[in-house]
Amino acid sequence: MSFTLSCAKEDFKFSSAHFVAHDGGREKLHGHNYRLYVSLTSGALGEDGTVMDFAELKRVVRSLCK
């Protein structure tokens, strides 16, 4: 048996910029915006009967997105 916690929030997003170098040149620096959907699966529940504390999951993901 497995248990899953899934989460998508408006502020689970980040931006990233890059350029590709090729044939002695490179394209212009440009960026992309990303939104995260997080899904955690566990084969067992914790002592408190949850996969993970929902508040802690949001704190970790928001910290990574910053």
Domains, the chain, in order of start with CATH, read 3-65 (3.30.479.10)
Place of tokens 């997105």: 65
pLDDT surpasses 90 at 16: yes
pLDDT surpasses 90 at 50: no
Mean pLDDT of the chain: 92
User: In the prediction, which pLDDT does 44 show?
Assistant: 87
Would you place residue 24 in the very low, low, confident or very high pLDDT band (cuts 50, 70, 90)? confident
Q: Which residues contact 30 (CB under 8 A, 6 or more apart)?
A: 17, 18, 19
Q: CA–CA distance from 60 to each of 2, 45, 65, 66 (Å)?
A: 22, 19, 9, 10
Model confidence over 28-46: pLDDT tens digits? 999 999 999 999 999 988 8
